[in-house]
Amino acid sequence: MTKISKKGAYPVKLPVRKDYFAGTDSENNLKTVNFEFESTAKLINEINGMPILNYMFKTDPNIPLEVLTEGVFLSEGNETTVADITKLYINKKNFHETDMTELFQFIAINKEAFVLKLRNSSNLNNAVYFTITDATEFESYFTLDIAINITNAAVPELIHFNVYFFDFELKATVAGTSDPLKLDKAGYSGNAADLDERINALESQTPGDYVNADWNETNPASKKFIENKPDFSAIGVFSKRYAGSGQTYTLPVGAIAFTAFIDGYVQYPLDETFPLDLNVFEQSGVDVTFKTTIETYSQILINYYL
């Protein structure tokens, strides 16, 4: 018998659902038997705890809905353009003939809480999200009324005979809305209770308004009130020049020096972690004393806040 490894005698092909391969029957005296590829894949998924909600997309207008093939889903009007699809017809049994009725019934009752995510099995990075507006059960299939939510640009349309994974992903919503960016504040208390109002404020205000609203709040009982705000209205940045004469120079009352220059060379406030640094100064009250030796008539410039 020719060896299986000889590809000239046994050409290589990609397996499909109805293909077979030979194996050993452990339950019947180790006899050689044929296994269905489809059944084997299903068994592997069950062993791994990975039931897959997948369906093949078809665009056949002759398929009667009452006998919609197991593992198949259609779109109303056989529409393939993702942005134009408004309704899907989905058999109750998935591609592996698992009855998904209970899952679809649950989704139908809680449709406002989920978005439908479709992924192409040939490229799992390609995904499209639909908002579910209605769900109806029939004898052998369900219909989902949908509207485009978010789509990957790489998925402009569904492809006939391609297999797609169905994922129902939970979204957080505010009662009466379907906006997944809004928060349900029912479970929050304290400062978090008005999070959705703050989000609405962010959406409606120009940048900076929401900061000014908190800064200008004068009611101490308000959550927006900021205690111990510094008074920036009296602060300005100033400079004062001196002719070199000794190591110490006097600033106006209340001034705080932040940088200085001796003949154009920058000087910084003393940092105790660098005690040997010469290009520094110390301030005591209104007096600024430089560590660098200053020659007579050197040009001194001190920058300060006041």
Is the same domain home to 154 and 253? no
- Helical (H) or strand (E) element with 101: helix 101-109
pTM: 0.45
pLDDT tens-digit readout, 100-150: 888 888 888 888 888 888 887 666 667 788 889 999 998 888 999 998 877
Q: Is residue 223 one of the residues assigned to a domain?
A: no
Residue that finishes a domain, picked among 149, 170, 191:
170
Q: What is the mean pLDDT of the chain?
A: 77
Q: Is residue 107 one of the residues assigned to a domain?
A: yes
- Helical (H) or strand (E) element with 57: strand 54-57
Is the same domain home to 58 and 165? yes
Q: Above 50 in pLDDT, residue 178? A: no
Work out how many domains the chain is built from and give that number: 2
Is the same domain home to 59 and 155? yes
| Amino acid in the structure at residue 230 | P
Q: Is residue 194 one of the residues assigned to a domain?
A: no
Residue that finishes a domain, picked among 154, 170, 186:
170
- 215 neighbors 225 (Cβ within 8 angstroms): no
Domain extent for 71:
54-170
Is the same domain home to 75 and 163? yes
How many angstroms separate the CA atoms of 172 and 183, rounded? 6
Is the same domain home to 73 and 163? yes
3-class SS of residue 108: helix
Is the same domain home to 166 and 243? no
Q: Is residue 275 one of the residues assigned to a domain?
A: yes
How many angstroms separate the CA atoms of 94 and 150, rounded? 24
Q: Is residue 32 one of the residues assigned to a domain?
A: no
pLDDT tens-digit readout, 199-252: 666 666 665 555 566 777 778 887 777 777 766 655 678 888 998 888 999 999
Q: Is residue 3 one of the residues assigned to a domain?
A: no
Is the same domain home to 166 and 242? no
Q: Is residue 266 one of the residues assigned to a domain?
A: yes
How many angstroms separate the CA atoms of 305 and 254, rounded? 8
